[in-house]
Amino acid sequence: MRALVQRVSRAEVRIEGDVVGAIEDGVLIFVCAMAGDPPNAPEKLAAKIAKLRIFRDDDGRMNRSLLDVGGSALVVSQFTLAADTRRGNRPGFSSAAPPDEGEIRYLEFVSAVKDLNIPVATGTFGADMAVALVNDGPVTIWVDTDG
């Protein structure tokens, strides 16, 4: 699995103008299931992100995790994270998991984050969504489970 994690002071996702998920301090996680992901990929990715030391400590250094600060997560499915841009100008997405498998992995990832006692808001898999955020820092981290 692949994720783009952004530390945020707030974030929301809208579908057809209606807010379907919103958080205050925490992380916005764009997540993509990749073809061939092992069954434990959602749990592995959730644990990695929850422990990333990307929040400020008392000295202003990035030394605290989402678990440490009690932050929330807004999880949004985004198959375009699988884009292959090595040839031509049109991205290819063949490395993304097929939609039915992608949705299962997405839901498993959401469940794995919740199992870590992190408050979670979500978008809707496969929907046309508008995401708004205030990136705190800015801090943006790319995370792969590496198979």
Q: In the prediction, which pLDDT does 146 show?
A: 75
Catalytic position from the list 6, 30, 55, 79: 79
Catalytic position from the list 6, 30, 55, 78: 78
Q: Token digits for 135?
A: 């990136």
Beta strand pairing call for 18-23 and 2-15: antiparallel
Q: In the prediction, which pLDDT does 136 show?
A: 96
d(CA 144, CA 95): 13
CATH architecture of the domain with range 2-144:
3-Layer(bba) Sandwich (3.50)
Q: Token digits for 24?
A: 């205050």
Beta strand pairing call for 72-77 and 62-64: unpaired
Q: Which of 124, 43, 45 is nearest to 78 (CA)?
A: 124
The C-alpha torsion from 24 through 48 and 42 to 125, rounded to 10°, is: 30
Instruction: Give the chain's length.
Output: 147
Residues in contact with 68: Cβ distance below 8 Å, sequence separation at least 6, in sequence order: 55
Q: In the prediction, which pLDDT does 76 show?
A: 98
pTM: 0.96
From the first residue on, what is the mean pLDDT of each consecutive set of 10 residues in the chain (147 residues)?
Answer: 98 97 98 96 98 97 97 97 92 94 97 98 96 97 85
What are the structural domain ranges in the chain? 2-144
Q: In the prediction, which pLDDT does 46 show?
A: 98
79 catalytic? Reply is yes
